[in-house]
Amino acid sequence: MCGIVGYIGDKKAQPILLNSLGKLEYRGYDSCGIAIANNDIEVFKDLVRVKALTESLKPHDGKAGIGHTRWATHGEPSKINAHPHTDCKGKIAVVHNGTINNFLQLREMLAAEGHNIVSETDTEVIPHLIEKYYDGDFEKAVTRAVKDIDGAYTMIAMMAGEHKLIAARQESPLIIGVGDRENFLASDVPALLDYTSRVIYLEDGDIAVVTASDVKITHDGVPIEREEQKISWNIEDAQKGGYEHFMLKEIHEQPKVIRDTLTDFLSNSKPVVELAGVEGSTLENMIIIGCGTSYHAGLVGKYVIEELLDIPVRVEMADEFNYSGQASPGTQAIVITQSGETRDALKAIQRLKAKGCRVIAITNVIGSTVTRVADRVIYMRAGPEISVAASKTFTAELISLYWLALPYARVDTARLDKLVRDIRQLPVKVQQVLDNEDKIAAFAKKLAKFDNVFYIGKGVNYPVALEGALKIKEISYIHAEGYAAGELKHGPFSLLGEKTPVVAVVTRDATYEAIVTSIKEIKARRSPVFAFVGEDDDSTGDLADYVFKIPGVDPFLSPIVNSVALQLLAYFTAKERGCPIDFPRNLAKSVTVE
């Protein structure tokens, strides 16, 4: 879970590497470094963010280099553990994303052969392996070293005197950016947007030799062509656009995201059944798999599909499914991964396909790994999401799940037509929430004083409570738990009191009376209650301490507007507490390790 970049061309590498690394800090930010080549290799790294490294360096004239921003897996954050890492002589430098499973065995072997490995990282064995196998042919040495490595990795290697970068990919993303007399390497698209929109996505087992004028790719030693693609995002999409934080910008982008995601599905001239993009699918025997926020979206999807299609749906965390989950041949599976590179989700797809299941992937990134391994792909048109805490991609995932289910809905025509009409109105409803963010900010000033909080919901809004709790713990560092409202009685009630507030998501559906009863029980324990209720709810306000009214929507669609309100609550709470909102401690955006 790190960001890596490479550059080779006719320009000075240093500013390009540092600028590109800054665009990848959401992938890891506990340390960073660059290596630049002239006749020798110079390495500059430290236990700092990219901006601080940039300010500390003198200009360098080298026109080839590699860079890295780290999320620690092996060894604590420190200058010595920061990348790039080099061999004994400092002639070979490597940056790496992923984990090497057999690094201890390799480390012991190399140490026995006289290699001096100084860091705690798994990465450092790579330049030493390349050094071990180097006999005058750099490319051959890298290819031989890769054969010794077991794990999921992407690496870029550079050697003094060699005017090339050599990259290898295995179960971790890597993109080549194609330029004019220059070429780039990066682990994600935002790093490249300032320089090129032409990219090549490497695949597992690929080794790429990149010079200023050429890209050569081999797979299992055989030359191969990978299709060049055009990035649809632009530079402005990956910038703050005047907002204080990327997260706030991305929350405010959600009306547009909903419209853009619906554009692929919605057409006034076609019947809805033609718009799901899963022709020939019956959507029976369903399993939905995701991680974190995507798992919560899957839980909403369970309620949606079960109600509309009247079939049972199972939702699994990808990591748990990979070790204990079962699926029968013919099962229809939906795997949700916003990045398309989530390690646990990709492993789940391998397991599902091995069992004869058909996999539909919901993702945000065209050309990502999941788009090549799934049977069908549904794209959410959210654009780049830079903030580590997901907001607009969660909304886009929900829209995708609703529209995936609607063509197969076993409900009467009037009900279906109303749902379609109401979905069209969601951008307006979400904008109304955003227009009233000052009131939510006022709630946040109250909530920020607490160190523990419960979130509750029922029915289709139970997953919204889970997601709300995840958001606030991610960025404000308040300990938060999400529960189905009735579950508080089965243990958590012992923690209720004046110092433990409860955020309640209340919807006028079949669960309404039950959650109102739960709020009464909570108030009897003196816990402050922050209630998010429908605009037609005039009763809950008499029970709760703080009430925010959500614009009126069909209760079945309420998770979308409710989620936006809870995202704002988390954002303003974190801001009140002075937290680094876009880069919360210990977290990274794209989880590409187990």
- Please report which residue ranges of 57-124 form alpha helices under DSSP H: 103-112
Distance CA 485, CA 476 (A): 23
Distance CA 380, CA 565 (A): 21
**Cβ distance 70 to 31 under 8 Å?**
yes
**Phi/psi of residue 102, nearest 5 degrees:** -105, 25
Sequence-separated (6 or more) residues with CB below 8 Å from residue 524: none
Distance CA 482, CA 555 (A): 20
Torsional sign, CA 63, 66, 69, 75: negative
Helices 558-576 and 437-447: crossing angle, nearest 10°?
A: 50
Q: Which of 2, 32, 291, 357 is catalytic?
A: 2
Distance CA 175, CA 152 (A): 16
- E strand segments, 266-366: 286-290, 313-317, 332-336, 358-363
589 flagged as catalytic: yes
Distance CA 555, CA 491 (A): 29
End-to-end CA distance of the chain: 10
The residues facing 502 across adjacent strands are 454, 529
**Cβ distance 402 to 423 under 8 Å?**
yes
392 flagged as catalytic: no
For residue 325, give both structure tokens: 């989950």
How crowded is residue 37: how many other Cβ atoms within 10 Å of its Cβ?
Answer: 25
| Angle subtended at Cα 291 by Cα 341 and Cα 323, rounded to the nearest 5 degrees | 95
Sequence-separated (6 or more) residues with CB below 8 Å from residue 583: 25, 26, 29, 388
**Nearest one of 143, 239, 133, 242 to 194, comparing CA atoms:** 239
For residue 333, give both structure tokens: 């599976």
**Cβ distance 385 to 364 under 8 Å?**
yes
* Strand 206-210 relative to strand 151-159, pairing: unpaired
**DSSP 8-state class, residue 497:** B
For residue 21, give both structure tokens: 């690394």
User: Which amino acids are annotated catalytic?
Assistant: 2, 589
